[in-house]
Amino acid sequence: MTMNKLYHLFNVSSYKGGELHSRTNLTLEDVVDEILNFCQWDDDFAEYVYDSNESLTDEAFEKLSHCELIDYASDEVIEDFAENILYPGKIYAYDMYSDYECYTTNEEGKLVGINPIKEPEFCNILRKKWKEYYKDE
């Protein structure tokens, strides 16, 4: 059951030559919050949705509210967008921060690397959180 899993995120920033950042004992909702803290809606996500839908005209795209755009986005688009936030291909912290490393604990209590984006509830949690943020739009 994913909802009972705890996740641990680690990354390195270029601050002071390589400071390690850790966020431990997170729920999947907390991991989604971390992703949302690093993205800029208008510049990033809307482009992902627009580029992935060939049938979406410029005029129709301009009329969509943020909440409608969230519903218009497929799970694949959401996963691709989130993947680019958590794992942009920065092994080192040269560009302000490195990729995240995410772990959870297995049955023996050992840390195991995991991609939280592949968790079954991930896309629904992200949609819900974005809708909450933009509900008054």
Q: In 3-state terms, what secondary structure has residue 97?
A: strand
Q: Please tell me the distance from the alpha carbon of residue 44 to that of residue 99, in angstroms, as a whole number.
A: 18
pTM equals 0.78
Of residues 54 and 8, more confidence is placed in 8
- Residue 16, domain extent: 2-134
**Alpha-carbon gap, residue 80 to 45, rounded angstroms:** 10
Task: Identify the bridge partners of residue 10 per DSSP, sorted by sequence position.
Answer: 22, 101
How confident is the model at residue 43, as a pLDDT? 57
Q: What CA–CA distance (Å, rounded) separates 72 from 43?
A: 17
Tens of pLDDT, residue by residue over 26-76, are 999 999 998 887 665 655 778 778 888 877 888 988 888 888 888 888 899
The predicted structure's pLDDT at residue 91:
63
Report the 10 Å Cβ neighbour count for 116: 25
**Per-residue pLDDT reduced to its tens digit, 71-129:** 888 899 889 888 887 777 766 555 677 778 899 998 898 999 999 999 999 999 999 98
Side-chain-side CA neighbours of 134 within 13 Å: the count stands at 17
Structure tokens at 120: 């079954």
**In the chain, how many domains are there?**
1
